[in-house]
A and B are shown apart, each in its own frame.
Chain A
Amino acid sequence: MSPGRLLALAVLVALAAAPFVPMGGMRQYVLHVVIQIFIWSFIGQAWSLMGRFGLVSLGHGAFLGVGAYTTTLLWNFYGLTPWLGVVAAVLLAMLLAFVVAYPCSRFGITGHYFALVTLAVGEVIRLLLIAERDWTGGSLGVTLRAPGSDASLLAIQYADKRVFYYGGLALWLAGLWVWARVDRSMARSAMEAIGEDETAAASVGIHVTRFKLGITMLSAGLTAIGGVAYAQYIAYVNPETLAGIGVSLRIVFAVVLGGMYVLLGPTVGTALTIALSEYLRVVFGVKFIGMAETIYGLLLVIFIIFLPAGIYGSVAALLRRRRVPAAAPA
């Protein structure tokens, strides 16, 4: 077994055993932080599926919101289990992605203009959620209806955080798997070619619209699943945490920070941003609300200028460069 695989296996075993390690009174808190890292890393991976090919979305909150509210409302109003609700959530998010991305692709709206369109879409969804307050509870949000005592599985609501911990772990691993699959596929070379020059890509026979739509809808569908997972875990949805500019930018910050071209980039970035905001919360309490956002913003600017490949991406590239001269025969 290669050292890399061995390390991965060791990390997996440690992650699987973690909830049973004695941590004094800290267990609930640690689990809470790690669950969030799993879910938001998964969402970051979904975002980077587009971002790495130059499809920068500043409105992924729209897909999170569509996902989270779909399952929540279906459960609250019709008693439909989120296991089925998530199918509707994914389909709706993909439909929204299609409605946004198809005209953009047809009329050549790319780069900054595409980013601005998505930014607007994210805000529109947030405002819709606030406006439809009879259903959505407006800006106050909605709490997931509690299930009967024997219906935890049907409702995906558990008091024991360990259930969400393992669920989140599985979700995160599934996200890594999808990311790696795309990384090895023809879609990757097609998308790279499209990212470099759409006309040239078309001239070698790449169906530009199909690939762009495909990757956008995949990213949107996965993001909706992330939104559902978060809503189930917190058991409460709110337009500010699950739609709009704030959350959309936080996803982007995390991925840019960690690096969007490497498998573990989104995870490293998400872990760092969550750790940072937890730290700021503990140190400054609620005195400096908005402090985290300001620091993210500054970090983002610094990163885009000095470390465009992200922290993890740059370290990985550095290690690779170190290794190559040793390994390659001169």
Chain B
Amino acid sequence: MLALHEVTAGYGHFTALWAVSLRVERGEAVAVVGPNGAGKTTLLRVISGVIAPRTGTLAFESTPLTGRPPHEVVARGIAHVPEGRRLFPALTVAENLRMGAFLPAARRTFAETLERVHALFPVLAERRQQRAGSLSGGEQQMLAIGRALMSRPKLILFDEPSMGLAPVMVLRLFDLIRKIREEGYTILIVEQNVRQVLKLVDRAYLLEVGRIRMEGRADELSEQDFVRKAYVGL
């Protein structure tokens, strides 16, 4: 469904990703793990079109995606739950969700999608009129995910959704992502919480200083392998 071929990208003269190749099949959940500064966020930004790759190609559903701007990527069916949530804090929960369905195709099915999102996150229905900035961390993360779902994506990119959440909340969040997965969405998730995320996904990649160092099925890769590689560097 999504294929990156030898993608190199960076900021100015700095290169953050070196010839990264990666695939996500339809219906799959794939994780990219790696320490801070490995380039995980950069990778998702390249996919969602915020950064154009310097070399290499991207394809989504067998059509090229290289260098397409973000609004087009969203329209093609890829939603991004960005690092640090990036809600519109002064807008209400309802307004944030409405913004998620900004594109015409999503606007047409707004009511129906909203119902599904409310069923998944009842707290968002309760807090409809509250400003997004006044929600708790966990609720904000749910809103960020709900907003992404509002665009009716096929593939959802998660950037460290567990970041900054209390341990109980982290477990709940992974449960919710599992539920979203079961509804048939394809998922690419970036995490530092290796233990939890390996229980959730089918396959995983280890990214380290901009290069893919390891890849495999989640049940074959022991957590130790990844943790050792990623954080001890052996």
Contact = CB atoms under 8 A, between A and B. Distances in A.
Contact of A205 (B50, B70, B87, B89): B70
B74 interface: yes
A199 B74 contact: no
Interface string A199-236: 11111111100000000000000000000000000000
A196 B88 CA distance: 6
Contacts of A186: 102
Interface string B146-182: 0110110000000000000000000000000000000
A205 B98 contact: no
B75 interface: yes
Contact of B103 (A192, A197, A199, A205): A205
A206 B73 CA distance: 11
Interface string B75-116: 100001010001111110001001110110010000000000
A88 interface: no
A189 B98 contact: yes
B74 A204 contact: yes
B13 to A, nearest CB: 16
A64 interface: no
A191 B151 CA distance: 18
B82 A196 contact: no
A242 B91 CA distance: 38
Nearest to A211: B71
Given A202-B50, A205-B71, A206-B71, A189 B86 contact: no
Contacts of A200: 82, 86-88
A202 B91 contact: no
B55 to A, nearest CB: 21
A200 to B, nearest CB: 4
A196 B147 contact: no
Given A204-B147, A205-B70, A197 B99 contact: no
A200 B147 CA distance: 11
A82 B103 CA distance: 40
A196 B70 contact: no
Contacts of A203: 48, 50, 70, 74, 80, 82, 86
Contacts of B69: 207
Contact of B99 (A199, A204, A207): A204
Contacts of B102: 186, 189-190, 193, 204-206
B88 A193 contact: yes
Given A204-B100, A205-B151, A196 B90 contact: yes
A196 B86 CA distance: 10
Interface in A180-195: 186, 189-190, 192-193
A188 to B, nearest CB: 11
Nearest to A210: B71
B86 A199 contact: yes
Across the A-B interface, give the 7 residue pairs with the lowest CB-CB distance, nearest first. Answer: A205-B74, A200-B86, A202-B70, A207-B71, A196-B88, A205-B103, A203-B80
Interface of A: 186, 189-190, 192-193, 196-197, 199-207
Given A193-B99, A204-B150, A205-B70, 4 more contacts: A189-B95, A196-B90, A203-B80, A204-B74
17 contacts: A192-B88, A193-B102, A196-B89, A196-B90, A197-B87, A197-B88, A200-B86, A200-B88, A202-B71, A203-B48, A203-B50, A203-B74, A204-B151, A205-B102, A205-B106, A206-B71, A207-B69
